Amino acid sequence: MAPPHLTPAEGRSSHDPAPALLSIGELAALSGVGATTLRSWEQRFGFPTPVRTSGGQRRYHAADLDRVRRVVEARERGLRLGAAVELAELAGQEGQQSLYADLRASHPHVQPITLGIKVMKALTWSIEDECLAHASRPQLFGCFQDERSFRLAGRRWRELSRSASSATAFSSFDRSDPAATPARVALPRDSPMLNEWFLVCADRQMSVVLSAWEPPRTGADDARRFEVLLSLEPDVVRDAARFCSDTAQRLGVRLPAPGADVSGLDEDPRRSASLLRRFATYADS
């Protein structure tokens, strides 16, 4: 005897595994987001994107459910809807990973802050200076949204590279060059990392990660704003450094082994005060 037909709300809880394809009603029941709202998101943002049956009905993959849940979680953290959708799309692109999304998932206690371009520059320069002043032989990683941004920072990064055990830059390079100073990793043109700005300094004397992504602007005159994660916690910095190393390897670039053991990072509260003083100097200039 065939089992009775049950509606999504009657037959499945939000904790049950999702089937291969979901109707919009099933997606609504499992995510807690109403079908009307899902249609509105699709109209405004092209998200979530359904496949259509021969009869024109919407169907969704299980990955769409994960993305919708990420939007709900991001909204609960206070992100505006457009930014929450962008972040969910960023985190959901298989094989096209994002450091920001990875750290948000693995270290949710590190709460994002929103910063403008001037403050981002001051914070980045402060971290770079602290690495030069206090780190012994750090492992460094940086991500630049385009090659022009990398060229503008080229002199500073060459100086950083001389004092580092290894230094790696990710950007829209024409090709990867592990022998360059710093080593260059070419990102695919559709990589979400090209919308990111990050700096990782992993060293026993000085460990810090700055990871940011830029939400889409609604108008041409809108000021650039970034959703930013900042941490001096050794566990967070270790994970960021490993993410960068793994990403480079996945893109076919084998980096030299770092001179410092990033598994033995120490946390020194004096470094936080030193970084804050240096940042205040840049921000006030």
What is the average pLDDT across 255-283? Answer: 68
Span 11-59, pLDDT tens digits: 334 444 445 689 999 999 999 999 999 999 999 989 998 998 888 899 9
* Whether residue 9 has pLDDT greater than 50: no
* Whether residue 121 has pLDDT greater than 90: yes
* Whether residue 258 has pLDDT greater than 60: no
Please list, residue by residue across 35-60, b when 16 or more beta carbons sit within 10 angstroms of its beta carbon and e when fewer do: eeebeebeeebebbebeeeeeeebbb
More confident residue, 264 or 171: 171
Q: What does R_g of the chain's alpha carbons equal in angstroms?
A: 22
Residue 5 pLDDT class (50, 70, 90 cuts)? very low
Tell me which DSSP letter residue 205 carries.
Answer: S
Question: Domain boundaries in the chain?
Answer: 18-92, 113-283
How confident is the model at residue 254, as a pLDDT? 83
Beta carbons of 27 and 38 less than 8 angstroms apart: yes
Distances (CA, A) of 197 to 34, 141, 145: 34, 11, 6
Q: What percent of the chain has pLDDT over 90?
A: 42
18-92: CATH number = 1.10.1660.10
Q: Where are the beta strands (DSSP E) in 221-264?
A: 225-231
Domain boundaries 113-283, CATH class? alpha beta
CA distance 25 to 28: 5
How confident is the model at residue 76, as a pLDDT? 83
* Whether residue 175 has pLDDT greater than 60: yes
Residue 92 pLDDT class (50, 70, 90 cuts)? low
How confident is the model at residue 4, as a pLDDT? 35
